[in-house]
Chain A
Amino acid sequence: MKQTFTSPDTKGYYGKFGGAYIPEMLHRNVEELQSKYLEIMYEKGFREEFNALLKDYVGRPTPLFLAERLSKQFNTNIYLKREDLNHTGAHKINNAIGQVLLAQRLGKKRIIAETGAGQHGVATATVCALKGIECIVYMGVKDIERQAPNVARMKMLGAKVMPATSGSQTLKDATNEAIRDWINNPTDTHYVIGSVVGPHPYPDMVARFQSVISEETRWQLKEKTGSELPTHVVACVGGGSNAAGAFYHFLDEPQVQLVAVEAAGLGVNSGHSAATTQLGTAGVLHGSKSIVMQTEDGQVVEPHSISAGLDYPGIGPLHAHLFDSGRGKFLSATDDESVQAAFNLCKLEGIIPALESAHALAGLNQLQLNEKNVVVLCLSGRGDKDLATYMNRMDA
């Protein structure tokens, strides 16, 4: 397979990043996925079922909304790709449906997932309920506390939520626990990874399932502006799945500027940050080689972000490559800047964004925009799950 930005080489590398750094215990499962995922995903019956669910169950296509008052504030043209309007409230369901359908075709009977903000957990629990499959979601103890509404939703949907108590008790540790579960259950289980991270083929597979975001954006933008190509696409990056989906069909269009916004936490150099490309170095985390926040001794450090979905010390290998090659522009927004950007969107457009998506909005402040620019911003999710955090900030 020839390598472009949209597809890694046959070993799963995007430039220097990717691969499948997994213990032998996972080899059979990962190899089975590597050898079958493309064939299954592009099989006609699969496409039909996937597309029908995206349309009638999720509610796609999601609108591309010209945010006029926000545009005016930035003296430009800002279109919001409304992933927040998906069933379950975020882009995560695009991937969850794809992987659960794929797992069924692999004959798997049990689904496991990790979750940070709980959106991927809720999406996976939802699809498992729809398909009548057992679902176990690993979630860091700290995230269980700060994303309580999503924990309740998962339980109501019949999933078992397993607290991850090791390390920083957030997304990284939930991912470790999910991987260990997979090692201990090698035959009947599929692991639905929620972002473009993990061993090959996950980064490519998840990017392809999320690529529906930019596929729709192209024709929607053409209808609205006469051109399929914006000047900028902006998205937040935790592991990077909404960004991968929003960028995907523009990756090989060099005139489109791709802007990824990471979580700076209390400030990039505060010691409490999750801005991986600024603070990290090349390393291996969760089965792929990428950029990782770590000590000199190679111990992965505990990140910080107000947003549970961005509180992760790595990024997917595609994004590491976009950063390394200069194809992507990487910015970061602090907790405070993001909360402010969320309130700003509420006030101007009547939309409460997820804290994760609020980072993308905060990134707008750092771009030099003018009236000729056409900016597509991926509003990856809605803010219902974050109301407690927002209310605390409003009182303060």
Chain B
Amino acid sequence: MNRIEQVFKNKNSKVLNVYCTAGYPKLDSTLEVMQALQESGADLIELGMPYSDPLADGPVIQHSGSIALSNGMTIATLFKQLKDFRKTVTVPVILMGYMNPVMQYGFEKFCSDAAAVGIDGLILPDLPQYEFETEYGAIIKKYGLDFIFLVTPETSEKRVKELDALSTGFLYAVSSSSTTGNDKDFGAVETYLQRLKNLQLNNPVLVGFGIKDKQTFESASKHSNGAIIGSAFVKALENSSDIKADTKKFIANVLA
């Protein structure tokens, strides 16, 4: 059983996945942030690989990516930083990023290097279903990585089922059709999550986009297996002089 499965086996509600950007706020804070998240009680970590043109991200995560890039972060540097991270980090880690840098690195080499350092899964929002099925899915599988598809309130029931069948690890339910970091009315989100729940999917469902505090985390978790916090945590680190303390404080507020 892999690490992601293990998390959901031990805990099937209020699973907390937290997003952080590699190389942010400082080039070599990547590991420190991950360790702080684990110590503070995050169940999974989504580690973002910065990209010049992150279409699915809102201003906060875009900005963190620009800072990481100007700090000098690259995929090659990231794998160097992650070389021994499994000595200290035991929670599952999912790499999130965009197709272009991964293709440039070499898709297979990327999967192979990710698996070698101990990465558990991938989220590549602009890798489409057709290309996944015909070309890339087999490579991802070959290296034992999970692949997590996104679904939105606009995704048809038929398509949700197809994407659920292709996903392993969990399914990422975008709380509304929007870029990350957007505020939306949570009532409509609950109806949508209830709808997903009724489909009896194979994978656990984590809800992302717009989750920022205890209240949104709990309402998202009510009809799903947990939630993903991104922009709000990235913002909390923006001017941090003590990553450990600020991470603890942030997560403690969410889990209080």
Contacts and interface: CB of A to CB of B under 8 A. Distances in A.
B4 interface: no
A22 B179 CA distance: 13
Nearest to A186: B177
A25 B126 contact: no
B164 to A, nearest CB: 13
Given A24-B152, A180-B179, A184-B178, A297 B101 contact: yes
B55 A27 contact: no
A28 B126 CA distance: 14
B154 interface: yes
B60 interface: no
Contact of B125 (A23, A166, A187): A23
Q: Which of B53, B150, B163 has the most CB of A within 10 A?
A: B53
A357 to B, nearest CB: 28
Nearest to B125: A23
Contact of A167 (B53, B102, B149, B156): B53
A179 interface: yes
Contact of A25 (B74, B127, B131, B154): B154
A287 B98 CA distance: 11
Interface in A163-202: 166-167, 172, 176, 179-180, 183-184, 186-187
B149 A179 contact: no
Interface residues of B, number: 40
Given A183-B56, A184-B179, A186-B154, A22 B103 contact: no
Nearest to B174: A25
B12 interface: no
Nearest to B178: A184
B179 A20 contact: no
Nearest 6 A/B pairs, CB to CB:
A298-B101, A298-B104, A186-B177, A23-B125, A297-B74, A24-B150
Given A25-B150, A25-B152, A167-B52, 17 more contacts: A19-B130, A20-B128, A21-B127, A23-B126, A23-B150, A24-B149, A25-B179, A27-B152, A176-B53, A180-B179, A183-B177, A184-B179, A186-B154, A284-B98, A292-B100, A294-B100, A298-B100
11 contacts: A21-B126, A25-B178, A25-B179, A27-B154, A27-B155, A184-B177, A184-B179, A187-B154, A294-B100, A298-B75, A299-B52
